Structure 1
Amino acid sequence: MIKRSTLRAQLASALRDEILAARLPAGSHFTVKEIAEQYGVSATPVREAMVDLAAQGLLDVEQHRGFRVHRFTIDDYRAMVHARMIVMDGLFHGFVEAEAVRTAEAAAGGAAGPHREYEMDPAALASVRRRAEAAVRAARSGDLDVLIGYDLRYWRELGALAGNPYILDFLDRLRTQCWVFCVPCLRRGGEIATRLWSGYRELVDAVEQRDAIEARRIVAEYHRHALALADGPAIPLAP
C-alpha cells in the first residue's frame, strides 16, 4: 500500500510536470475533486500536493473555488533571472576564493589539494557529466519535455558540489518557475533546437578543471541567454 505522504509527493511531482510542460497552462483553473477523479485517488493527498505546489509559487489558491496555475509575467521572469544570477555568482565566487586559497597554499609549499568545502566527489561529478550529455542531446533535438528534466537535475547536482541545501532549494524553485514562463514562448517560436542553451558540458569541464574564471564566464553567458527572452520577446530563448 502506498503511504499517503508518498502519494502526496507523487501527485505533486506529476502535476508539476504537467505545469512545466504547459499541459496545464498558465491561468488554468481546477478543483481538488477534478484532479482526484483524474488520478483515481482520494481528495486529501491531492489537496496536500496542491498546497505544496502553491508554496513553490506554481499554483494560486482561489478561496472556495480551487486552484489556478500561476501566470508569470515577463517582469516576473526578468526578476527571477536576476535573482538567480546573484545567487549563482555568489556560489561561483566561493569557488574562486577556494581556488585562490588552494593556489596560495601550493605556492607556499603546503598542501595543494582543493579547499575542503569545495572538494568534489568524483562519483558526483561523473553523474553531473551524464546529466550534461543527456541535456545537450535533448537541447539539440529540441525535445523540451526531456530537456527540462535533465536540466533541473543537472543544475541541482552541480550546485550540490557546493554542499549548501538552502541554496539548492532556492535555485531549483527559481529555475522551475523560469521554465514555466519559457516553455509556452519556446513552443510558439518555431524551431526550438536552435534557441536552446547547450553549454552544459563546457561548464562541467570548467568546474572539473577548477577553472573558476571560465566557469563564471559560462554562467554569465547562460544568464544573458535567459534574459534575451525578456529583452527581446521576438527571439525567445530557454532559461
Structure 2
Amino acid sequence: MPGTPGNGAVTRSTLRQQIADALRDEVLAGRLQPGQEFTVKEIAEQYGVSATPVREALVDLSAQGLLEADQHRGFHVREYSVTDFRSLVEARSLVIDGMFHALGRGQGAVGQDPGDPRTAAALAGVRRRGEEAQRAARCGDLTVLIGYDLRFWRELSALFGNTYLVDFLHRLRVQSWVCTVQRLRRLTDLRGRLWAGHTELVDALVLRDMERARAVIAECNAHALSLVEELAND
C-alpha cells in the first residue's frame, strides 16, 4: 500500500523520540551516572526494540550534549565540569536577555499585549507551573522540580514567539540540570537548597518591570553557580 512506508517512518521516528526521552529522564534522575557506558545492543534489549531507533536516539542525545560516543565501543553519559556549568549559565543568560530585549521592543505575545485574554491565560498557566516548581523546590523534591522547571521555561519562552529560541533555551536548561543533578543527587536532604523564584519572574514580566526581571535571573544564576561550586569542592 502507498501509505505503508510513510507509516513505518513515522513509527520509527516516534519510537526514536520515546527512547531519547526515556534515556534523558534516566540521566536527569541520576539513574544513568556520569561516565556510565552502554551499547546500542544493551539499550535495545532493555527496551525490547530494534537497534536502529536506539542508535538514532543515542546520536540525538549526543548532539544535545548529554552523551558522548566512544569509538567502536558505544556511548557514555557526559560528565560536566564546573567550567562547563559556568558556560551554560552564561549562554542561557544571553538567550534570556535577548528575550527581554524583544519584550522591550514589543515583540512576542507578552511584549505586544500582556493584557490580551489569551496572553493573560498563557501567563497564568506559566505561573501555575512556577508555583508547582517552587513547591517542589521547598520540599526538596528534585525530580518533580526538574519536570516543572523545564515546562515553566518552555512555556514562558514560547510566549516570545521564536520557536528556535524555545528549543535552544530548553536544551541549555536540560544540560544545566544534568550538570546540577550529577552533584545534587549526593545530598540526602535538598530542602532549602534549591532556587524557588519562578513566580517572581512571571510577576515582573506581567508588570513589564524589566529591572526586576533581570534581578530575578541574576539571583537564580548566582544561586545555581554557588551551589554547584560548593558541591564540586566537597
TM-score bracket, normalised by the shorter chain, equals 0.7 to 0.9
TM-score using structure 2 length: 0.87
Match of 1:5 among 13, 31, 50: 13
**1:207 partner amino acid:** L
Task: Quote the offset at 1:46 in angstroms.
Answer: 0.8
Structure 1 unpaired stretches of 5+ = 100-112
Aligned to 2:90: 82
**1:116 partner amino acid:** Q
Task: Say if 2:66 is the partner of 1:61.
Answer: no
Match of 1:215 among 203, 213, 216: 213
Aligned to 1:110: none
Task: Quote the offset at 1:220 in angstroms.
Answer: 1.3
Aligned to 2:40: 32
Deviates further, 55-64 or 221-230: 221-230
Match of 2:78 among 70, 85, 94: 70
Match of 1:116 among 102, 112, 119: 112
**1:216 partner amino acid:** R
Structure 2 unpaired stretches of 5+ = 1-7
**2:226 partner amino acid:** A
Rounded to whole Å, the distance in 2 between the matches of 1:128 and 1:209 is: 15
**2:17 partner amino acid:** A
Rounded to whole Å, the distance in 1 between the matches of 2:25 and 2:210 is: 33
User: 1:75–1:230: 8 Å Cα contact kept in structure 2?
Assistant: no
User: 2:113–2:119: 8 Å Cα contact kept in structure 1?
Assistant: no
Task: Say if 2:46 is the partner of 1:50.
Answer: no
1:67 partner SS? strand
TM-score using structure 1 length: 0.85
1:148-180 residue CA offsets vs partner (Å, 9 max, x unmatched) = 111011011111111111222221111111111
Match of 1:224 among 209, 222, 225: 222
Aligned to 2:151: 153
Task: Say if 2:174 is the partner of 1:176.
Answer: yes
User: 2:34–2:77: 8 Å Cα contact kept in structure 1?
Assistant: yes
1:41 partner SS? coil
Measured on the aligned residues, the alpha-carbon RMSD in Å equals 2.4
Rounded to whole Å, the distance in 1 between the matches of 2:215 and 2:87 is: 21
1:73-99 residue CA offsets vs partner (Å, 9 max, x unmatched) = 111111111111122122213323439
2:79 partner SS? coil
Match of 2:31 among 14, 23, 43: 23
Taking a change above 3 Å as real, the CA distance of residues 10 and 211 of structure 1, as seen in their structure-2 partners, is same
Rounded to whole Å, the distance in 2 between the matches of 1:220 and 1:92 is: 13
Aligned to 1:107: none
Task: Quote the offset at 1:184 in angstroms.
Answer: 2.7
Task: Quote the offset at 1:183 in angstroms.
Answer: 1.1
Task: Quote the offset at 1:192 in angstroms.
Answer: 0.7
Deviates further, 26-35 or 217-226: 217-226
**2:13 partner amino acid:** S
User: 2:133–2:198: 8 Å Cα contact kept in structure 1?
Assistant: yes
Aligned to 2:197: 199
Aligned to 1:131: 129
Aligned to 1:106: none
Q: Percent identity?
A: 57
1:206 partner SS? helix
1:96-119 residue CA offsets vs partner (Å, 9 max, x unmatched) = 3439xxxxxxxxxxxxx9753877
User: 2:34–2:182: 8 Å Cα contact kept in structure 1?
Assistant: no
Rounded to whole Å, the distance in 1 between the matches of 2:12 and 2:110 is: 44
1:188 partner SS? coil
Task: Quote the offset at 1:28 in angstroms.
Answer: 0.6
Where does structure 1 differ by over 6 angstroms across 4 or more consecutive aligned residues? 117-120
Rounded to whole Å, the distance in 2 between the matches of 1:123 and 1:235 is: 44
2:174 partner SS? helix
**1:70 partner amino acid:** R
